[in-house]
Amino acid sequence: MMVPPATPSSVGRDALIRFLVLAAVLFVGWQLLYALIVHPWGGLDRWLIDRLTGHAGAILRMLGYELLPEPPGDSSRYLGVQGGSFLWIGDRCDGLSVMVVFGMFILAFPGPWRHKPWFILLGILAIHAVNVLRVVALCIVVTIDYELLNFQHDYTFQVIVYGVVLLLWFLWVRRFAPLPGRT
């Protein structure tokens, strides 16, 4: 029995199915790993939040803002500037899930493996940098009008952070992914 030759559309369809299945398996695996091990342990989120508040605090000081004194207790999760209120940085706000989903996309999407490690690292650093700037901006926003905080947190900065992730994915697809018809 002869097997019909692969057409560009069937090759593209097979690659899409492979990507979707692999991405789904990686995503479910991450969700289980995070829920059962990473989040209960807390060390990775704590480390990332410490970096986030440290970097954001340094930028705020460079911009001339005076930081609020650290509250007693779990102070590494809090950051604020004089004239505003404290922001509390929760585990879901540390950027870890966005970084992992970005990395999973790059791993699942076709492309040369020699470029994946450095591109994932570059993407993680970019996502962290955007998240730091997000925290800086939110600290400044609450000095202007506390009522703006929820909208900025829930909408404006979500669009910005996910926009950067989409831009990184776009760069990966355009620069490294072996798309049909590309030589």
Domain count, the chain: 1
SS3 category, 78: strand
CA distance 89 to 103: 23
What is residue 59's predicted lDDT score, i.e. its pLDDT?
97
| Distance (Å, whole) CA 59 – CA 12 | 45
3-state secondary structure of 98: helix
The answer as to whether 7 is a domain residue is no
Q: According to the model, what pLDDT value does residue 19 have?
A: 85
Q: CB neighbours (10 Å) of residue 77? A: 21
Establish if 100 belongs to a structural domain. yes
List Cβ neighbours of 73 (8 Å cut-off, separation of 6 or more): none
What pLDDT does residue 85 have? 86
Domain that includes residue 25, residue range? 13-175
Q: What is the pLDDT of residue 168?
A: 95
User: Is the residue at 180 inside a domain?
Assistant: no
**Residue-wise DSSP of 136-173:** HHHHHHHHH-TTHHHHIIIIIHHHHHHHHHHHHHHHHH
Has residue 72 been placed in a domain? Answer: yes
Q: What is the pLDDT of residue 117?
A: 96
Residue 52 counted as domain residue: yes
Question: Residue 3 domain-assigned?
Answer: no
In this prediction, residue 73 carries a pLDDT of 73
101: number of Cβ within 10 Å: 16
Residue ranges in the chain whose pLDDT is less than 50: 11
Question: Does 6 map to a domain?
Answer: no
Task: State the residue for tokens 């730091």.
Answer: 132
Tell me, yes or no, whether 8 lies in a domain.
no
Q: Which residues pair with 67 in a beta bridge?
A: 81
